[in-house]
Each structure stands twice: as C-alpha cells, then as structure tokens.
Amino acid sequence: MKISFIGSGNVAWHLSQALENAGHAVIEVFSRENRNATALTKQLYNAKVQKDLNFANSDAELFFLCVSDDAMEEVTRKLVLPEGSILVHTSGSKSLKDLNELVEVYSEIPQKTGVFYPLQTFSKVFHVNFEEVPICIETESEDVEKVLITLAQDISEVTYSVNSDERKVLHLAAVFACNFTNHLLGISQEILSHNNLEMKLLEPLIKETFKKALKSPKIFNVQTGPARRGDQKIINRHLLSLKEKPDYQRIYQVLTESISKKN
C-alpha cells in the first residue's frame, strides 16, 4: 500500500519504518521543518520530502497524521488530500470525532478517517519491536476498518478495536504507567547523581519492581516501603532530606498518602 506521513516525530519515525519492513511503500513525508522530513526519508527506501500540505496529486492511499495533538487543527486546516484517500491520526487522547470535525470544517471533499493508535512509548533513538505493540484501531467505515486491520496485522501481533472513550481511558492509564513512572525514575537518578552514586545500583530493584507488578493480579498488594509499613520516622527523615526540592517533597507526600490509604 502507498502511504504518506504528515509529521516526522517519534511515532512517524518508527511507524513508517515498520510499515516499510512489512512491504508497504512510504512515498512522502511532510514535516513543519523540512530537515526533519529529510532525516526521516533517509531512513526509508524511496520516500520524498513533501514541502507543503497540498497532497492533491499524491498517489498515496493512506495518510498518517502524526503531529502533536495541539497541531492537528493547524495542519488539517491547510491539508489537501486526494479524493478517496484515508486520513488517520495516531493520538491516544484525540477522538475520532475530533478528527472528523476538523475534516468536515476544512476539507472540500468528504474524507475517510480513522485512528491507528500504537500503545507504546516511542523515542527516535530507541528501537521498538513493533510486533509487540498493541495497535488500537477505530473507524466508522467498514472499508477503512478492513484496511487498518490488515495494516496493523502486517506490523503487529496485537490488534484491538478500541473506541474513542476506551482509548482515552487507556491513555490516562498509560500516563501513570509510563510517563509518571519515567519521571519518578528521573528523580531517583538525580538524587543518586547529586550524591555521586550510580543509577546502576538501582537496576535490579527497578527490574524486580516491574517483574512483580506485571505478574500480580492486584499490583497494590505487592507494595513495599515506609508508606506501606506506616513508618513515620523514615517518612519524616526523607521529607527533611528533600527540603531543598519542594516539588519532589510534594510528590513524595502525595504518593505516601495515596499508598497509606490503599493499605
């Protein structure tokens, strides 16, 4: 299938290459910054940099809108797509209705639409095994559904039909599981490095924490630590150690309260 990408960020970077590895042809990449589009085309077989958002003469059948959620309106306002093509976004938090409303307002021809949400964290520099990435699909058209399911199954072993409300819930849960966890690990790293200690020392602990959580039907039940034990002396000492970092102190307090309430 001939596919074009609008956006060349983390998702476009990995998804476009996974699609090409599965035998599809990425023919165009547009990005706000030309050099970012160029960098992505260098990773692809035969893709060209598209300099503007007028794709009227494009041969692509499917367009991936992989821009920041806040940029979707600005981009769709200028976007011109060939008749009969499909436009999908890859966002966890934007609904299909959001995309349909933008297309209705800004597109002169009716547009087939859908959502192709890869539930994973993507950074350009880290390899992702797409076969394991759940692809959450949504569309209102049976034809588009067939296309998106086939495409998802070409790159991944895990495909789900997920509606916009369910996707928002998944996204909220993912923010706790991934984004907040990553931030907490960043705080750990900072605390260690300020005391000339290596993050490597925490590696076995981090691995065991994730292993236990993934194996536990009720993750709250395998909670450990001073908040779980109600050890107020240690909690006070930790809060005192964080007196120079009021933001971290607040995070510590909120999480401690939340853990205490669960137990």
Chain positions contacting ligand NAP, by CB under 6 A:
7-12, 31-33, 36, 66-69, 71, 74-75, 90-92, 118, 121-122
Rounded Cα distance between 17 and 64, Å, is: 13
Residue among 99 and 242 whose Cβ is closer to ligand NAP: 99
Rounded Cα distance between 8 and 95, Å, is: 21
Rounded Cα distance between 251 and 257, Å, is: 10
With a CB cutoff of 8 Å and minimum separation 6, the contacts of 90 are: 11, 15, 64, 65, 66, 115, 116, 117, 118
Shortest reach from residue 178's CB to ligand NAP, in Å? 8
Residue among 156 and 256 whose Cβ is closer to ligand NAP: 156
Strand 112-118 and strand 135-138: pairing?
antiparallel
21 alpha-carbon distance from chain centroid: 20
Contact 27, 20 (CB under 8 A): no
Residue among 170 and 242 whose Cβ is closer to ligand NAP: 170
Question: Is the alpha carbon torsion for 185, 190, 193, 197 positive or negative?
Answer: negative
Shortest reach from residue 117's CB to ligand NAP, in Å? 6
Q: Give backbone dihedrals phi and psi of 198, rounded to 5 degrees, phi first.
A: -90, 140
Q: What share of the chain is helix, strand, coil (3-state, %, to 5)?
A: 55, 15, 30
Contact 136, 113 (CB under 8 A): no
Shortest reach from residue 119's CB to ligand NAP, in Å? 7
Shortest reach from residue 223's CB to ligand NAP, in Å? 27
Residue among 11 and 235 whose Cβ is closer to ligand NAP: 11
| Residue number with the smallest Cβ distance to ligand NAP | 9
Residue among 5 and 252 whose Cβ is closer to ligand NAP: 5
Residue among 33 and 165 whose Cβ is closer to ligand NAP: 33
Shortest reach from residue 4's CB to ligand NAP, in Å? 13
Shortest reach from residue 91's CB to ligand NAP, in Å? 3
